[in-house]
Chain A
Amino acid sequence: MRKSNNINWTKKDLLDLENLSKEEIELILQTAASFKEVSTREIKKVPALRGKTVVNLFYEPSTRTRISFEVAAKRLSADVINISTETSSVRKGETLIDTGKNIEALRVDIIIMRHNYSGAAVTLARQLKASVVNAGDGWHEHPTQALLDMFTLREKLGRLEGLNVSIVGDIAHSRVARSNIWGLTKLGARVTVCAPKILIPPAIEQMGVRVSHNIEEALAGADAINVLRMQFERDKEKAFPSQLEYFKSFGITKERLKSAKKNIIVMHPGPINRGIEISSDVADGGNSVILEQVTNGIAVRMAVLFLVAQANDYIKTKK
């Protein structure tokens, strides 16, 4: 391996945070810290992935994650191809595995995939020698989002261990929540999930979190709050509270933050629904790190792409 770290990254894929060790997560965050500076240079590019080909394979619409990965790959000097399923042969009925194998046959090194089915990245990675990076699979995980949330938090507060972090919103259908829960708890943070009962999935306590149905309770003593986007469009049974009701009971407003720690960090994975889960004055206010999260996303994704590519090179030379 090129860079010698104390701990080695040996996985060809990044599929989830559940199955990573604390040390592996630390390694990604450390690597991200060293890549962050690249984006501040006049020439925002390093040759780390020169000659590598990266494909963005997105089965769900996404702007910020796809662009973030694209920028990250380009700053590492990789060649990037974007495939949206709207225009590809997926529409002609090609299976996920066949699509993956065809992309691999083009000698592509890394496939970054967003998919609407939970577990799809695991399914693909099992079948391919190319690296697979999960850019969000169904309700399951969105590991790079959680990594950039953790990176931002640690940058702001200097540590993760012992922090109280509350995640508020549609926990049941959130891959961001699941990845954050695994990542934060592994690094020693205390996590509270807060939502109306209908949006808390069963037995989530077994993932190591505290459950609250009261936003004041979730804010009290919290060092940071991660506000999830409310996905009203998926509520076919009209079981969610109305948008107005939700904002009244769970919306993050300036008024509510008065009872919280003065320097509470406010995060949001975006895109934000102003006036539904968060008020504009909070989203744009002094506690918000929402845009810094976006910036940090580049460094974290550079680190992930770099580590999986390096590990896969090593795996291939060993064979």
Chain B
Amino acid sequence: MKLIIKNGHVISPADNLNDVCDIVVQDNKILKIGKNLKEIADNTIDAKDKIVMPGIVDMHVHLREPGREDKETVSSGTLAAIAGGVTTVVSMPNTLIPIDSIGNIKLLKGIIEKKAQANVFICAAITKERAGRELTDIMKFKKEGVVAISDDGASVDNTEVMLKALKKAKDAKLVVICHSEDKFLSASGVVNLGFTSTKMGLRGISKESEYKRVKRDIDLAEKIGAALHIAHVSCLESVEIIAKAKKKGIAVTADTAPHYFALSEEAVWGYDPNSKMNPPLRTKNDVLAIKEALRQGVIDAIASDHAPHTENEKEIEFERAEFGVIGLETELSCAITYLVDEKILDMGELVKKMAINPAKILGINRGTLGVGRPADIIVVSKDKEWVAKKDIFHSRSKNSAFLGKTLKGVVECTILGGKIAYVNTNSHK
């Protein structure tokens, strides 16, 4: 089985590619890249006037299975992924049945093997039931293929437990992904603390609740020498702390989600639960800081924090609605619309943030188009506009923060392991 992608503008900084050329894929690997290749293939994709780049690696996705298949499944979530140009996802452990034991890891692996339509890597829990008290079998996780550990949705409040977790993670050569939140400081808040919480009459989530925990975890990681990754950075102060740590040579990396560089707290003023997430949308000033951090490389990666919820849990009173929004099918378009178009990043840097860097952080063989590498490739109409609407999404849930917004960038074709996994046939897209 041979496939050729012809005449696309290939962008892959890991391979120093930024030019119009052809890519030949054989079986599941990249066979050849070059100009005007005369190759007889079983299948030809015409990528003229389109961008060809490595498939996105999204290191923060909630597939909800096992346990909440009404929100999302491994199957529906990975279908949404390939439709969004995401060929690799990391499944976060805070499912109803938490991924906190070898048994549950095997259970999830079984589901992935049968149902996944994209590459799925597993992030397992740091503590049992993510309760922050008793460590999981971290040492055995790596052998099961786990790529990271996290108690996502919660931070390990007990500093002593976190310290021990970092020691074990270092020995196991696993990166620790931190949901940085001091629950006592965020104190059942629902929106950014300040003018927004005040005028809306809602409890606020302070920035302190985030950055103080970022600071603590970086201090601990420095002490141990463990690899630490800060997830969904939302505010200026966290950025400053991470920048300082990086300057000092501490092994810390960070990601942010599209809503933190695309939207500010004003988006929540109409009490739309699809603008309710944790951490909350912050001020315009924080959005600027996040963009600048992406530009300067303080924030290494973009991840969706895809968090599907049913309408029953979202289209209700704002205070009662669940936190989180879906993002797999909008993240690339958001990055193009709010970062590339605004000249914060160029396409090469975007590929770094969305493919190369996350793959590096996780230590997985993805994010490049090198000969002999897995053929996960996407073809993108970079300047084509589309309007985000519920019926366009493949995800089982529709809780997008970008509904009604015009976005730029359409994924026309997704090649997963050398096979065409998705072709855009939606006339509205």
Q: Which residues of A contact B (CB under 8 A)?
A: 18, 95-97, 115, 117-120, 122-123, 137-141, 175, 178, 201-204, 206-207
Q: Can you name the residue of chain A whose Cβ is closest to the Cβ of B317? A: A117
Return chain B residues, CB-CB under 8 Å to A122.
270-271
Within 8 Å by CB of A201, from B198, B317, B318, B319, lies B198
Contact with A along B244-274 (1 / 0, CB 8 A): 0000000000000000000000000011000
Q: Can you name the residue of chain B whose Cβ is closest to the Cβ of A138? A: B201
Return chain A residues, CB-CB under 8 Å to B204.
202
Return chain B residues, CB-CB under 8 Å to A203.
194-195, 198
Q: Can you name the residue of chain A whose Cβ is closest to the Cβ of B312? A: A95
B122 at the interface (CB under 8 A from A): no
C-alpha spacing A18/B201, complex, angstroms: 12
B97 at the interface (CB under 8 A from A): no
Return chain A residues, CB-CB under 8 Å to B195.
202-203, 206-207
Interface pair B200/A118, CB less than 8 Å apart: yes
Within 8 Å by CB of B317, from A119, A175, A202, A207, lies A119
Interface pair B194/A117, CB less than 8 Å apart: no
Return chain A residues, CB-CB under 8 Å to B318.
117-120, 123
B320 at the interface (CB under 8 A from A): yes
Interface pair A139/B271, CB less than 8 Å apart: no
C-alpha spacing A252/B318, complex, angstroms: 36
C-alpha spacing A137/B200, complex, angstroms: 10
Given A138-B202, A207-B199, 11 more A-B residue pairs with CB atoms under 8 Å apart are A95-B312, A118-B202, A119-B201, A119-B318, A119-B319, A120-B318, A122-B270, A137-B201, A141-B201, A204-B198, A206-B198
Interface pair A139/B270, CB less than 8 Å apart: no
Q: Would you mind naming 28 contact pairs between A and B with Cβ atoms under 8 Å apart?
A: A18-B199, A95-B316, A96-B317, A97-B315, A115-B317, A117-B317, A117-B319, A117-B320, A118-B202, A119-B317, A119-B319, A122-B270, A138-B202, A138-B319, A140-B200, A140-B202, A175-B201, A178-B199, A202-B193, A202-B194, A202-B195, A202-B198, A203-B194, A203-B195, A204-B198, A206-B195, A207-B198, A207-B199
- CB B204 to nearest CB in A, in angstroms, measures 7
Q: In the complex, which of the residues A97, A123, A175, A203 has the most CB atoms of chain B within 10 Å of its own CB atom?
A: A123
B155 at the interface (CB under 8 A from A): no
B197 at the interface (CB under 8 A from A): yes
- Give the B interface residue count (CB, 8 A): 19
Q: In the complex, which of the residues A95, A97, A117, A119 has the most CB atoms of chain B within 10 Å of its own CB atom?
A: A119
Q: Which residues of B contact A (CB under 8 A)?
A: 193-195, 197-202, 204, 270-271, 312, 315-320
Return chain A residues, CB-CB under 8 Å to B194.
202-203
C-alpha spacing A97/B194, complex, angstroms: 29
Interface pair A119/B198, CB less than 8 Å apart: no
- CB A109 to nearest CB in B, in angstroms, measures 23
Return chain B residues, CB-CB under 8 Å to A139.
201-202
Interface pair B317/A178, CB less than 8 Å apart: no
Return chain B residues, CB-CB under 8 Å to A207.
195, 198-199
Interface pair A202/B197, CB less than 8 Å apart: yes
Return chain B residues, CB-CB under 8 Å to A120.
317-318
Interface pair A140/B317, CB less than 8 Å apart: no
Return chain B residues, CB-CB under 8 Å to A118.
200-202, 271, 318-319
Q: A140-B200, A202-B198 are in contact. Are A119 and B271 (CB under 8 A)?
A: yes
Q: In the complex, which of the residues A178, A201, A206 has the most CB atoms of chain B within 10 Å of its own CB atom?
A: A201
Within 8 Å by CB of A119, from B193, B200, B312, B315, lies B200
Interface pair B316/A178, CB less than 8 Å apart: no
C-alpha spacing A62/B320, complex, angstroms: 22
Q: Can you name the residue of chain B whose Cβ is closest to the Cβ of A174? A: B201
